[in-house]
Structure 1
Amino acid sequence: MAIESDVVVVGGGLAGATAALSAAREGVHVHLISAKESTLRQASGLVDALGYPDPDAGTGPVADPFTGVDDLPDNHPYRVVGADALREGLALFDGVVGDLYRGSHTDRNALVATTSGRAKPTARYPRSMAAGLVSDDRPTLLVGFEAATDFDAPLAAERLTAAGVPFDVRGATVEFPGDYRADAAVTRLAHALERDEDAGNGRSTRQRLADRVRPNLGDAERVGFPAMLGDAHVEEVRADLSERLDAEVFEIPTGPPSLPGIRLEDRLFDALDEAGVSMTTGNPVVDYETDDDGDIDHVIIDRNGARIPYSAGAYVLATGGLVGKGLDSDRDGPREGVFGCHVPAPEDRMAWSAEGAFADHAFARFGVDPDEQLRPLDASGSPEFGNLFAAGGVVGGADVAREKSASGVSLATGLVAGRTAAEEV
């Protein structure tokens, strides 16, 4: 017998969580199925809305992401759901994350310094990064660790200076307190800072770290560290280090594993639990069956070899794009992996990509083609299923990496897909 709910969401990333919360707020019971750990763990923790509506224009990032929506192609997800959906999606996000994030006070993008020494436009950013905004003109010291090799602080400082940031910035590399290998896991270092245990000579980890950073301070009024200042108690660690250094400490977004991404995932899943959303994680959807009308009757997950059916009145597909493995491709073309939905693509595979790593690649916009209700359409333009809705990276039409729009697309489409699925039942 199938496990029943009103709406089943397939996918546990930002789009899936948003869809589940959106549907639950309509008063229906939602079950979320995630095959693996959320991709949020690999993400920076920044929530981008739209930084570059036309990445090839060479005009730099837009100040207001909403002003660029009308200039996007007709099949872009923002054009399909409308700019209001982006506003509502961000509002839903703000209500969930509360004091963990900043940026909700304005429509304007903020510029956040990254570990590569770039200024990235983003709509929402963790509170732990707020003191590091590029618009702040206070002299800055960036600090990297010998035990965390993915951040070269002096190089990042050089690049920021070359980009013309409005503040003096220098970089220094110090040894992390304690006995750690050169490739120590970021989570180990973060937990050491959070526990603040004895790191030798009777001094705590944070005390020894502050002692090693202090000779490099100069006139710096703020100090940026890679985003590893603890896990659940990052604000406690930041405040302690700020007091010891007499300079405001902030985090710089890093690559995977991303502690800001993990913190965001924890907050979202707490919100899902509070909203009454039931969840199944670690088990992929491997099959589905349709009813007499051709709509989806139930999906089937694989749980240690057992096939477990989950039934609902409506379904949301939020499994991600090519990076998230919601889409796959071979010589026959791209395909959506759960329901086999049509994914438009040029027949000539040579047209899938362009010259240059950061060029306008067709494959970057691959995804299902949705109608205004976000139902995936087949090759003839008809809905694949009357009760299936798509959200996030699996929706085509956006080059989110170049546009800096991935999170916004997930929020806007997740909000609409979840709400529409709830209305369906």
Structure 2
Amino acid sequence: MIATEVLVVGGGLAGSVAALSAAREGAQVTLVSKAESTLKQASGLVDVLGRVDGELVADPFDAIQGLPDDHPYSVVGVDALHGGLALFDDVTGDRYRGGDRNALVPTTQGTVKPTLRYPGSVAPGIAGDGRETLLVGISTDPDFDAKRAAESLDATVPGDVRGVTVRFPRLRDDAKRTRHAKLLTESEEFRAKLVEKIAPRVDGADRVGFPAVFGEDPAFVRDELEARFDAAGAPVSVFEVPTGPPSIPGSRLRDLLRNELEDAGVELVTGVPVVDFEAEPGDTDAGDAADDADRVASVVVDRNGARVPYAPEQVVLATGGLVGEGIDSERDRVYEPIFDLHVPHPDDRYDWSAEGAFGDHAFARFGVRIDAEGRPLGENEAVAYENLRAAGAVVGGADTAMQKAASGVSLATGWRAGTRAAAESGVNNA
């Protein structure tokens, strides 16, 4: 039996924030995950609250005040969001930009995404300032049609937007984005030939946007490209346009968080799915209904076929939602598969979704419900396990994809779960 004060299950943004928050409070933390972090599939943007009732939100903190009582922000409090953002800002430093109001970030689909934090390499491309923009697509990348994206943006944002598609030199048709990134970072000849292809097409544009392939050091690549454009008589600002998976900005964020977790002393164990757990009765004499609840006594993981038990004082569940398999379903029920936590859902399966792709789908809000301390609640609204907390997409109550709020909910619930887990662990009980 491996003892630990705080055991975090799940290695995405919410799990990383929970683990780091707990470690910074002085707790001994172990983070286990069944696979590599899903952050490499994410855009690298931090959306806090971008849309409410279909309308763009400029000030997310003001809009949060009008959200329903069962929304995760309403449950854990706006102070938890501020705490999560402060931790994020400390980890990312000058690699990220953003303030208290949303910025409109152009996407490869020709839309703008309202987001509160974004990589510094994205910042020069923020929409709305009226500058003329040239988008550059790669002929071998079918996910970014620069001309089509430019046409869409040109019709919706101030300033002219044009698009061109070029063939990157020295690359095969099946080259991956990581190969583009490697050459942009390491090859001066590659950068020179790329600018040579694009400079004649700048034609008065103020900035040039590339798909997000600037490698591990995007500031260096931006500086190098801008210097070459200037030398070619086409001075411009250069920026990245966030892409879908595989996402290099997402991988950068994953690496930043992983390095910070290691520096904080968090033990990282990857490739070990949780396969079982044991519970024990709570303290029936505590006088607090939450403390009367059962406790998670042990959590068992599968390590290459061997059952390895952990004995945590506190547990944080951050395994994802329906897509991440943190929430599962059968024909007649929806549930959380590790601890069999209650997930509110309509009894009739036909009511789980609505007509239309962008309808008011019940499944989009599926997830465990939590109290203000981050503890999952049972069907009777009582705390399920007094030493278990939940964070991220496994928490329900909001359509975070539609609201552009997934990262913010992960930050808020992760910070709340991690700090409370540390407070209730041996840190303050020694």
**In the alignment, is the contact (CA less than 8 A) between 2:332 and 2:349 conserved in 1?**
no
User: Residue type of the partner of 2:94?
Assistant: D
SS in 2 for 1:270: helix
In 1: Cα distance, 2:53 partner to 2:6 partner: 36
**In the alignment, is the contact (CA less than 8 A) between 1:53 and 1:71 conserved in 2?**
no
Partner of 2:158: 166
SS in 2 for 1:134: coil
Deviation at 1:63, TM superposition (A): 0.9
In 1: Cα distance, 2:359 partner to 2:119 partner: 30
**In the alignment, is the contact (CA less than 8 A) between 1:190 and 1:228 conserved in 2?**
yes
**In the alignment, is the contact (CA less than 8 A) between 2:76 and 2:371 conserved in 1?**
no
- 1:3-402 aligned within 5 A: 3-55=2-54, 60-103=55-98, 106-163=99-156, 165-181=157-173, 183-196=174-187, 204-230=189-215, 232-245=216-229, 246-293=235-282, 294-402=294-402
**In the alignment, is the contact (CA less than 8 A) between 1:298 and 1:312 conserved in 2?**
yes
In structure 2, relative to structure 1, the CA distance for the partners of 1:94 and 1:30 (3 Å cut) is same
SS in 1 for 2:300: strand
User: Residue type of the partner of 2:57?
Assistant: V
In 2: Cα distance, 1:252 partner to 1:84 partner: 31
In 2: Cα distance, 1:136 partner to 1:267 partner: 30
Deviation at 1:123, TM superposition (A): 0.4
Partner of 1:201: none
TM-score (norm 1): 0.94
Deviation at 1:373, TM superposition (A): 1.2
SS in 1 for 2:374: coil
In 1: Cα distance, 2:56 partner to 2:37 partner: 28
In 2: Cα distance, 1:139 partner to 1:369 partner: 46
Partner of 2:288: none
**In the alignment, is the contact (CA less than 8 A) between 1:53 and 1:69 conserved in 2?**
no
Deviation at 1:234, TM superposition (A): 1.7
Partner of 1:200: none
Deviation at 1:168, TM superposition (A): 1.1
In 2: Cα distance, 1:297 partner to 1:309 partner: 10
Deviation at 1:292, TM superposition (A): 4.0
In 2: Cα distance, 1:368 partner to 1:281 partner: 24
TM-score (norm 2): 0.93
User: Residue type of the partner of 2:76?
Assistant: V
* Greater CA drift, 130-139 or 342-351: 130-139
Deviation at 1:53, TM superposition (A): 2.4
Deviation at 1:221, TM superposition (A): 1.5
SS in 2 for 1:229: coil
Q: Deviations over 1:226-273 (max 9, x none)?
A: 00112x222111111111112111000000000000000000011111
Q: Deviations over 1:124-169 (max 9, x none)?
A: 0001100000023221100001111110000011000111x11111
In 1: Cα distance, 2:200 partner to 2:30 partner: 54
Partner of 1:410: 410
**In the alignment, is the contact (CA less than 8 A) between 2:59 and 2:102 conserved in 1?**
yes
**In the alignment, is the contact (CA less than 8 A) between 2:77 and 2:372 conserved in 1?**
no
In 1: Cα distance, 2:318 partner to 2:171 partner: 42
In 1: Cα distance, 2:239 partner to 2:153 partner: 16
In 2: Cα distance, 1:337 partner to 1:43 partner: 24
User: Residue type of the partner of 2:81?
Assistant: L
**How many pairs does the alignment contain?**
409
User: Residue type of the partner of 2:201?
Assistant: N
In 2: Cα distance, 1:27 partner to 1:194 partner: 38
In 2: Cα distance, 1:302 partner to 1:332 partner: 29
User: Residue type of the partner of 1:99?
Assistant: D
In 2: Cα distance, 1:219 partner to 1:281 partner: 50
**In the alignment, is the contact (CA less than 8 A) between 2:107 and 2:241 conserved in 1?**
yes
User: Residue type of the partner of 1:207?
Assistant: A
In 2: Cα distance, 1:115 partner to 1:174 partner: 15
User: Residue type of the partner of 2:148?
Assistant: L
SS in 1 for 2:122: helix
SS in 2 for 1:40: helix
| Runs of 4 or more above 6 Å deviation | none
RMSD (CA atoms) = 1.1
**In the alignment, is the contact (CA less than 8 A) between 2:46 and 2:118 conserved in 1?**
yes
Q: Deviations over 1:202-233 (max 9, x none)?
A: xx111111011112110011100000112x22
In 1: Cα distance, 2:277 partner to 2:76 partner: 27
Deviation at 1:291, TM superposition (A): 2.5
In 2: Cα distance, 1:184 partner to 1:280 partner: 32
**In the alignment, is the contact (CA less than 8 A) between 2:110 and 2:153 conserved in 1?**
yes
